[in-house]
Every structure is written in C-alpha cells, then in structure tokens.
Structure 1
Amino acid sequence: MTSQLEPMPEDWQRALAIVAHPDDLEYGCASAVAAWTDAGREVSYVLATKGEAGIDTLEPVKSAAVREREQRASAAVAGVTSVEFLGHADGVIEYGTALRRDLAAAIRRHRPELVITLNPDDTWNGTYWNTPDHRAVGRAVLDAAGDAGNRWIFPDTEAEPWDGVRWVAIAGSGSPTHAVDVTTSLERGVRSLMEHRAYIEALTTEDPEAYARNLIEGFARETAERFGGRPAVAFRLFPR
C-alpha cells in the first residue's frame, strides 16, 4: 500500500525558495507557493542563474533578459514580489564553498523559517538523470541552511547569522513525505508556468497553455492519490 503524505507544517511566516533556473519552481511548486501567499505568508525567490543557456535558439545574453522577465512575471502570479538572481553561469554551477557562501548569505538576508529547493538527487525518481545544476544547488541549499546559522562559517557576509531555518523542503523528490493542498491555487500554478512562454515554445510545439495545464494538473492529481484525494504538491521535508 502506498503511504499517505503528511500535511506540511503551517506554523511559519517566512519562506525562501532557492533554485538553479527560471522555471524550476513553476513545474509544480508554484501552486503551493500561491496557496501560502494567499494565506498571508511571505515567500521570496533566489535563483542561482538567469537560465541563459536554456533556449537553444536564443544567444545567452538575450536569453537571460527574456528569462529574467518571464521569471518575475511568473513569481508575481504566485504572489511573490522578491526575486533575486545570483549570477552563476547556467549549466556549469559547481558545488563548493563559493556556492554555499552565496546561498548562506541569501538565507541570512531573508531570514526564513522554511527553505525550499529542488531535487538534488542523481535522478528523477530513478528514471531520468538529473542535471548538474539541480544537483549542485539542491545539495548546497541543504548545507547552507546550517552554514547560515554558524557565525564562524562565512563570517564576512553582510547580513548577520540566521539560525532560524526550521525545515528544508525538497520539491520534485522521488521520496516525498509531506504535501500542500492546492485545491484553490492550482490554476495559479498553471498560469505561473505559462508565463515562461518563450522557454516553453522552445521546448515543444504543443500549445503553451495545454502544455502547462497537462503537466501541473497531472502532477497534482498524481499526488492526490497519497493525500486524501485532494490535488496537492509534494515535498520531502527535512527538519532542522
């Protein structure tokens, strides 16, 4: 029997989502973000890159401008107004102390209780190989959540240490533990992904709305099977 997912904690006010690329949060997670902002919680986004290597038909400088604009519009649909780009090079992010420092500094600036990132595992549910950027950023987020609270690690960041991260939630995990009911925010999740129109049109010949709707609604229905029949977004939750 498939185990049921637990509801995500609700006793928090600030969250920070840290991912590698524009669109990483929109493939499912944005519906949960919209549910949280609708409930009055504050969610901010930090992206390691501008996704400049993500559109084969568009040179990186032009792609970066397009994808940054699309990400800001996408975030706004989910109720997010704070979107930062750290300027790492798309496709060649390296896990290491430089990345951990940048992410720890972001956590210290935003002072979240909940940190969200994307699947850092080698694969997507054991089927498809994950990208180097996702693996590097996801793993660095898990480490930086602890680094941010240690005043002796990266002592030269502008913001003071922040040891208030209570959980790190992994979206897209092959072994989720918790979920968020997105019954009232699922449509916003679809529209959030649709804002990445240039990226979607470079990926597929399918109509962008049909593409976004099929994916986001499909993910939510699949998770519903483990969450009382309610459309949901799943996470693997690591308490700290």
Structure 2
Amino acid sequence: MNPLEPMPDDWQRALAIVAHPDDLEYGCAAAIAGWTGAGKHVAYLLATRGEAGIDTLEPGKAGPLREQEQRASAAVVGVDVVEFLDHADGVITYGTRLRADLAAAIRRHRPELVITLNHHDTWGGTSWNTPDHRDLGRAVLDAAGDAGNRWIFPGEGGEPWNGVRWVAVAASPQATHAVDVTDTLELGVRSLVEHRAYIKALTDQDPEDYARELLTGFATRTAERFGGRPAVTFELFAR
C-alpha cells in the first residue's frame, strides 16, 4: 500500500461532525488531542445523541447517558464545545434539511478544517458501513461547499463561510494522510473509555482493556505506512 502523507497543520480552527457519540473516539480523538495540545481549537457536532445505540437501554434513557459520556470523552482530549442536532439515530437521511443544518454549523464555527467519519459503502473489503455514517459523511462533504454560497440556505447560521480548506474523513478505507499519535494515544484510549455504558453493551471485556487493545492495534497497523510511527488515518479532500 502507498505511504501516507502527514496531515497539514497550518490551521487554527476545526469542526468535527459525526453521526453518533463514540464515532470520533475510535481513533480520531488521539489526533485531536495532539491538535488541541498544540493550541488549535476543535469543536464537536453530533447529528444524533446515539439514542438507538444500546440494545438493553431504551432511547429515552440512552440518549441523555450517551450525551453525558460524549461530553466527558471530549473533555479528555481538550474539546469543550460539543453540540447536538437531534436528528434521529439510525435513520439520518441525506437531503437538504441535513445539508442546511450542517452548513449553518460550519458558518457559525468558521473552521478551516472539517472532520467527519467514513462515508464510503464499506470499511474496506466486505465490512458494510451503516446508513448514518454514509449519509452524514456525504452531507458533510457537500455542506462544506454549501456554507460558502450565500444563495444556498440563505440566512442559515449567519454569514457565508468559504474558509474550509480541507475535509478530513477519519477511518476511510481510502486513507491518504495520517497523524502521528505517539504522544497522544493514551489520551485517545482514555477518551474512548469514557463511553463505558456503550462499551459494556458491546463486550464483556473491561472497557479500558478493550479501548487500549483496539486503538493500539489500529495505530500499530497504520505505522507500516507512516514511517513506523503509530498513527491514525484520514482521507483528505482539499477545497
């Protein structure tokens, strides 16, 4: 496989937009910890509260719990702005309503870098992606352009913002870039561990053991394409 390029770092503001609590914690949060540690500002926007994500807990109880876990998780990696759009978990639908909500958020936050999760049909091979990830990711890529056009969704979120320079897609099977997480992998692990209720519904494994094993494995495999350095990957779209 081709070597991965380093992610650009000549920016100051980023907005990470994903479908569910925990989406950013399966690797990307370790990169975010490095960015915030270097003085960059990163905000989170969640399309849902993950209310349909725990089989043993009804949505009315799961949503508030998962929101609480996401805020705690974000704080571990230096993110103190976490917003939710309240689209319905599991049935996010690509369309103008979603694009308008995302464009409005981009106009409010005015990021140079927008981050989202894998929008492709699979995670690579035959591991099928979920509709929420596919539709949300594609809408993010489109909304980055919508936000800069004053005639698309006029008045939504304030003045147009055409300052998005890149959209970075985490966990893409077509990754092009990576971020060295040698110094921040442990923060990424701690960030994922904050999703205790979600992890306990997934596995009988201790949450800390689960998070460390998973994230270390991801970062170590990526190192083969990134000069031997543990890293997390992105597919980078320039604008």
**Under TM normalisation by the shorter chain, which class is it?**
over 0.9
Partner of 2:87: 88
Structure 1 Cα separation of the partners of residues 41 and 223 of structure 2: 25
Aligned to 1:125: 124
Corresponding residue for residue 152 of structure 1: 151
- Is 1:116 paired with 2:123? no
Give the TM-score, by structure 2 length.
Answer: 0.99
Q: Is 1:170 aligned to 2:193, yes or no?
A: no
Post-superposition offset of 1:131: 0.4
Secondary structure (helix, strand or coil) at the match of 1:30 reads helix
1:48 paired residue number? 47
The code of the aligned residue for 2:155 comes to: D
Corresponding letter in the other structure for 1:49: T
Answer yes or no: is 1:206 the counterpart of 2:205: yes
CA distance in 2, matches of 1:206, 1:7: 34
SS in 2 for 1:128: coil
- In the alignment, is the contact (CA less than 8 A) between 2:27 and 2:218 conserved in 1? yes
- 2:17 corresponds in structure 1 to 18
**In structure 2, what is the Cα distance between the partners aligned to 1:159 and 1:22?**
26
Which blocks of at least 5 consecutive residues in structure 1 are unaligned?
Answer: none
Deviation at 1:127, TM superposition (A): 2.3
- Tell me the amino acid that sits aligned with residue 176 of structure 1: A
SS class of match (1:216): helix
In structure 1, the residue matched to 2:227 is 228
**Aligned partners of 2:157, 2:100: CA distance in 1, in Å?**
11
Structure 2 residue identity aligned to 1:41 = K
Q: Percent identity among equivalent residues?
A: 76
2:173 alignment partner, SS class: coil
Q: Give how far 1:36 is off.
A: 0.3
- Counterpart position of 1:3: 2
Q: Which portions of structure 1, spanning 4 or more consecutive aligned residues, are displaced by more than 6 angstroms?
A: none
Distance 1:166 1:140 in 2: 17
Aligned-partner SS, 2:178? strand
- SS of 1:220's partner is helix
Residue type of the partner of 2:57?
L
Partner of 1:104: 103
| Letter of the 1:148 counterpart | A
What is the CA-CA distance between 1:3 and the residue it aligns to? Answer: 1.2
1:132-188 Cα offsets, whole Å, 9 max, x none, are 000010000000000000000000213111000000000010011110011110000
Aligned to 1:37: 36
Q: Read off the aligned partner of 1:158 and give its amino acid letter.
A: G
2: CA distance, partners of 1:225 / 1:39 = 25
What letter is aligned with 1:58? Answer: L
Question: What does residue 66 of structure 1 align with?
Answer: 65
Structure 2 unaligned runs (5+)? none
Aligned-partner SS, 2:31? helix
Given residue 68 of structure 1, which amino acid in structure 2 is its aligned partner?
A: E
Q: Report the alpha carbon displacement of residue 126 of structure 1 after superposing the two structures with TM.
A: 2.2
The question of 1:190 aligning with 2:189 is answered: yes
Distance 2:181 2:158 in 1: 34
Letter in 1 for 2:116: T
Q: Partner letter of residue 31 of structure 1?
A: A
Aligned twin of 1:237:
236
